[in-house]
Amino acid sequence: MSRSFSFVSHACALVVRNPISLGSVAMISLLAILALFGPHLVPYDPNLTDLSIPFSPPTAGHWFGTDQVGRDVFSRVIVATRIDLMVAICAVALSFFAGILIGASSGYYGGSLDLWVSRATDMVQVFPLFVLAMALVAALGTDMRNIVLATAIVNLPFYVRLTRAEMIILRAQMFVEAARVAGNGDGRIMCRVLLPNALPNLMIQLSVNLGWAILNAASLSFIGLGIRPPTPEWGIMVAEGATHVVAGNWWLVIFPGLLLTLAVFSFNLLGDALRDLFDIRTR
């Protein structure tokens, strides 16, 4: 009981101490609110077309202007938060837990398990990231479930590699030997000794990954392999707006792009804060 309390108070202390952490937590909270309550907060129906006012620049009535079929850009941008965030969180959660499980066993037990796991991750990492994501989505189909799966698969090797490397370093530490002398079996050592010590570095990877997953989902949609229109999604909006930028309709690209950048940026900044949160030595 007291452990969870001290954890929360430590979290608050960290956030307050460091303005960057404070900023990123604030931005992420904002994004979370938009994702959860977006559709209820926006002034217009994101799919409502109004062919009388296409390509209208930002005005008091339409803060972010309207697109080629008169839909309100502001409403679409806000509502789009949910999709990319959800895809990213699901994909990263999947690869995080699966990757830690595989990487920890591989690094801890070594032997033939390690050999096979290393070969498998090599096979996945032999392609450039985005190319692999593209190929997987092309092969599996472009619904949301497959995008999540493809992103998770592409991400998996990073967690496996990182966890495995941490395990190999940590298992040679003396406090692991001490735990064994104290009568702890393999399972206990992995879960209660090794993983908590590996967590800080894993957390940094987690936050960077979340940022990358959002980028990935938007990029796939941009090239037409991701979420399909007319669902409002940042990547699609940029893609549709790209053809009209040359004619001077900058708001179709800037606003979705801006929010996309903001989301990725907040998660990237979160990394250091998360690592400090899980590392006892910063208390």
Partner 1 sequence: MLMKSTQRLLTVKNLAVDFDTPRGLVNAVTDVSFHVDEGEMVAVVGESGSGKSVTAYSALGLLSTGGRVVADTINYLGQDLLRAGRNLLKATRGNEISMIFQSPQTALNPIRPIGIQITDVLRAHQQLSRAEATKRAIAALEAVDIQDATRRLQSYPFEFSGGMCQRALIAMALACEPRLLLADEPTTGLDVTTQKTVMDLIATLTRSRNMSTLFITHDLGLAAQYCDRIIIMQNGRVVEEGETAKIFNDPRDNYTKRLLAATPHLHSRLVDLLPPAERRPFLAPVAATSASASSACSEREVVLKVDLLVREYGLGPARRRIFEKLWPARRVETPNTSMLRAVDGISFQIGAGECVGLVGESGCGKTTTSRLIAKLIKPTAGSIQLLGEEIGADDPRTFARSHKRKLIQMVFQDPSSSLDPQRTAFEAIADPLMRLEGVKRSTELRDRIEIICDLAGLSTDLMDRYPHQLSGGQKARVGIARAIAVKPALVVLDEPTSALDVSVQAVVLNQLSKLKRELGLSYLFVTHDLNVVRLLCDRVLVMKSGKIVEQGSTEALFGAPKHEYTRQLLAASPTIRFRSAAYSG
Partner 2 sequence: MLSSFILRRLLAAAPTLLALVVSTFLIIRVLPGDPAIFFASSPVPTAEEITYVRQKLGLDRSVPEQLVIYMSDVASGDLGTSFTTGRPVLTELLERLPASLELALVALLLAVGVSIPLGVTAAIWSGSPLDHAARAISSIGVSMPTFVTGLILIYVFFLQLGIAPEPVDRIDIFIAQPPRISGFLLVDSLLAQNWEALSSAAQRLALPSITMAIFVMSPLTRMTRSAMIGVLNADFIRTARAMGLSDWTIYVRYGLRNALLPVLTTGGIVFSTMLGSNVLVERVFGWPGIGGFALNALLASDYAPVQGFVLVMGVLLILINLTIDISYGIADPRARRST
Q: Which residues bind to partner 2, rule: CB under 8 A? A: 119, 122-124, 126-132, 134-136, 138-141, 211, 215, 218-219, 222-225, 235, 238-239, 241-242, 245-246, 248, 250, 253-254, 257, 260-262, 264-265, 268-269
Nearest distance from C-beta of residue 48 to partner 2, angstroms: 25
Given partner 1, partner 2, none, residue 40, with its beta carbon under 5 to 8 Å by kind, binds: none
**Out of partner 1, partner 2, none, which partner does residue 180 contact, by CB within 5 to 8 A per kind?**
partner 1
Block residue for tokens 């995080």: 96
Cβ neighbour number for residue 56 with a 10 Å cutoff? 18
Residue type, 88: A
Q: Quote the Cα angle for 213-219-223, to 5°.
A: 150
Q: How many Å apart are CA 100 and CA 190, to the nearest integer? A: 11
Residue 1 Cβ, how far from partner 2 at the closest point, in Å?
A: 38
What does the DSSP 8-state code read for residue 58? P
**Residue closer to partner 2 (CB basis): 194 or 239:** 239
Residue labelled with tokens 């952490």: 21
Dihedral of CA atoms 73, 269, 36, 259 in degrees, nearest 10, equals: 0
CA distances from 101 to 154, 155, 201 (A): 16, 14, 16
Which of partner 2, partner 1, none interacts with 174 (beta carbon under 5 to 8 A by kind)? partner 1
Nearer residue to partner 2 within complex by CB, 104 or 233:
233
Please say which residue, 46 or 241, places its beta carbon nearer to partner 2: 241
Angle formed at CA 211 by CA 190 and CA 86, multiple of 5 degrees = 85
Burial of 122 per CB tally in 10 Å (0-12, 13-18, 19+): exposed
Query: 133 exposed, middle or buried (CB, 10 Å; 0-12, 13-18, 19+)?
Result: buried
We find the least distance from the C-beta atom of residue 250 to partner 2, in angstroms, to be 5
Q: Which does 280 bind (CB under 5 to 8 A by kind): partner 2, partner 1, none?
A: partner 1
| Binding positions for partner 1, rule: CB under 8 A | 173-175, 177-186, 188, 193, 196-197, 280-281, 283
- Which partner, partner 2, partner 1, none, binds residue 101 by CB below 5 to 8 Å per kind? none
With CB cut-offs between 5 and 8 Å by kind, which of partner 1, partner 2, none does residue 87 bind?
none
Nearer to partner 1, 77 or 193 (CB): 193
Q: Which is nearer to partner 2, 7 or 116 (CB)?
A: 116
Q: Which amino acid does the sequence have at 83? A: I
